[in-house]
Copies of this chain bind each other. A is one copy, B any other.
Amino acid sequence: MGKIDIQQLYDLANHLRIDSIKMTCAAKSGHPTSSCSAAEIIATLFFSEMKFDKSFPKNPSSDRFVLSKGHACPVLYAAWHQVGHISTTDIMNIRKITCDLEGHPTPRLDFIDVATGSLGQGLSCAAGMAYAGKYIDKASYRVYCLLGDGECAEAFASYYKLDNLVAIVDMNRLGQTQQTMLGHDADTMAKRFESFGCHTVIVDGSNVVELLNAYNIARKMRSDLFSQTKDKPTAIVAKTLKGKGIVGIEDEDNWHGKPVSENTIEAIEQRLMNKADIAGTFQIKPPANDAPDVQLPIGHIKMAPPAYALGDKVATRQAYGTALAKLGDACPRIIGLDGDTKNSTFSEKLFKKHPEQFIECFIAEQNLVGVAVGLQCRDRAIPFTSTFAAFFTRAADQLRMAAVSFANIKCAGSHVGVSIGEDGPSQMGLEDIALFRAIPGSIVFYPTDAVAAERATELAANTRGIAFIRTGRPACPVIYSNDEKFGIGKGKIVHDSNKPKALIIGAGVTLYEAKKAADKLQSENIEVIVMDPFTIKPLDKDLIIKSARRAENRIITVEDHYQAGGIGEAVSQAVSDQDIRVRSLFILDIPHSGPPDCLLEKYGISAKYIIDAVHQFVHPPN
């Protein structure tokens, strides 16, 4: 009873495997290989190790399971199928709009506690559950979290053998409000850096001889240590005291961020100074002057022009990659960086053509942006970072700080909005416009077709500052000719008429929907203007106002993005001081997995909804 033999576990693992393969085949998308590697892990957990209530998955006493590598959910769905909790029909309907077995797991399912699919988060959630179990519930349930190896990628510096990098930890024991996690346990701190590939040295951080020795080791000046230090960054763990040298304050709590009292300064000074005058006693070591003189040709980087035929179906992410590779031809200091998505963002086009101009940063987007900020310092490079737009949220703080650094970095976010389809909400960029618009001085490009995407990339390279290029997953027709001119803050009218009743503003997939709507409305003798803003920041306010004036002061915006900080709000704000009325279509709720077209429909941003909005705006019901 409750016992299971080893062969049965292998059999069960293979069942999970086969089901994962079948269900992703049926869905025509998904991650069978990532599921197959975990089959025995899931089989042993579910059918031998874990205690849980199969008829009431949310039983508070059950062991928890968190699939941090959320893309492997087919194997998890297969397990709940074996348990008897999901029907065969259901597992064969994964990723469909009618089935809650989405492309990445969400708590729409009663056996999922936390949504996963944005890698690198599951273990934090699992730790929260374990904390609740041990300390709040004081119960025996246990928490199991399955991670992918790809999401454990925080070792950039050692991976790239950055032996010119020295990290020094000022281990002063005290945080703002209490002792730090490690206090003065320098050994453990050193082990952490060591495990990430650094050579580590522990020193008394107030002893200058020990410090100088550590720097020598880092510079590989100690031949006896060469085999240990070669090709490695160095981490020096320096044990210090907070407030060192200030009697009564040194190593004491509650002195973070507080000046000493003015009247104690003299005594402190007298105690510390044994020679008042040090002027002229030292010289600064001059640099070797061996860094090349770089004059970035910003403003003059010429890209070979786009080469499409009107109507060609090309995703803007693909055109981004094409442009990036061409810009790489034009300027060797254009450097691509990606977070293991280069075949999705198409930054691999640069990688394939100019591997020396590409840095794979693996799945650690915060580091991806941080590295880019470092690269652009002193004009060493023009970094183009790319990943799914949604995953730039992982680097929101780094982006905020990049602005404070007045950094020159470019970010291309692909897979935006519900139009990515089956992969589900964790992969959909729906707040990226808001994120990047909020950065002072930023430029937000939202190119609709391949020609526009190439030009956006070229303009980004040629303009200092932080630029975001929002690219889409689906292949859509080219609507602009190759010699079309684009400018920052310059929108385009893509559908015009003589007696327009409304101005419709869309971008990317919604511009195509707006054009469809305009054609349909024309057949009903309702004329409209359709505008492509090209950049959401800055917005072509003049063209918007001019066009709206012509269109009876009515604007309808439609975007594959949430409302806050999106196109609708940007447009509303731009015309807020005018007697122009704006109505907006946007994504209101957490979307579901499903085919892109169905999702545009379900979330109300398709041509049909645009037509309805025009009808209601132009002929309001009584």
Contact = CB atoms under 8 A, between A and B. Distances in A.
A615 interface: no
B4 A282 contact: yes
Contact of A61 (B261, B288, B537): B288
Contact of A562 (B48, B113, B130, B440): B440
How many copies of the polypeptide does the oligomer hold? 2
A208 B10 contact: yes
Given A344-B176, A581-B576, A397 B121 contact: yes
Nearest to A64: B377
Nearest to A173: B149
Contacts of A338: 177
A552 interface: no
B233 A130 contact: yes
A27 interface: yes
Interface stretch (A238-246, A318-326, A455-463, A519-527): A238-246
A188 interface: yes
A243 B348 contact: no
Contacts of A579: 579, 581
Interface string A1-22: 1101011111111110110011
Interface string A138-155: 111111111111101101
A500 to B, nearest CB: 18
Contact of A378 (B45, B60, B192): B60
Interface string A26-53: 0111111110111111011111111111
A300 interface: no
Contact of A12 (B39, B278, B576): B278
A482 interface: no
A454 to B, nearest CB: 22
B342 A177 contact: yes
Contacts of A341: 176-177
B398 A397 contact: no
A292 B133 CA distance: 10
Contact of A164 (B142, B360, B380): B142
Contacts of A242: 33-34, 36-37
Interface string A106-122: 11000001111110010
B127 A18 contact: no
A308 interface: no
Interface string A351-375: 0000010011011011101111111
A496 interface: no
A191 B157 CA distance: 17
A497 interface: no
B142 A166 contact: yes
Given A244-B37, A378-B60, A157 B12 contact: no
Contact of A167 (B126, B373, B440, B441): B126
Interface stretch (A473-481, A484-492, A509-517, A567-575): A567-575
Interface in A158-178: 159-178
Contacts of A124: 156, 366-367, 369-371, 373-374, 398
A64 to B, nearest CB: 7
A44 B211 contact: yes
Contacts of A439: 431
A165 B127 contact: yes
Contacts of A565: 434, 437-438, 564-565, 569
Interface in A274-332: 274-275, 278, 281-294
A176 B340 contact: yes
A380 to B, nearest CB: 4
A147 to B, nearest CB: 5
A225 interface: no
Interface stretch (A402-410, A445-453, A594-602, A604-612): A402-410
A269 interface: yes
A22, A175, A391 pick with most chain B CB within 10 angstroms? A175
Contact of A125 (B2, B258, B373): B373
Given A150-B180, A180-B150, A403 B590 contact: yes
A343 interface: yes
A196 B189 contact: no
A262 interface: yes
A573 B583 contact: no
Contact of A573 (B34, B63, B569): B569
A12 B283 CA distance: 12
Contacts of A162: 127, 130-131, 134, 143
B583 A106 contact: no
Contacts of A171: 149
Given A167-B147, A434-B438, A125 B374 contact: yes
Nearest to A50: B285
A543 interface: no
20 contacts: A15-B278, A21-B260, A24-B260, A33-B246, A36-B245, A37-B170, A38-B170, A127-B160, A129-B374, A136-B335, A142-B166, A144-B168, A155-B181, A181-B362, A393-B399, A394-B397, A404-B590, A441-B589, A569-B570, A579-B581
Given A128-B371, A129-B380, A577-B582, 8 more contacts: A6-B208, A21-B259, A60-B380, A107-B406, A114-B401, A128-B376, A431-B439, A564-B565
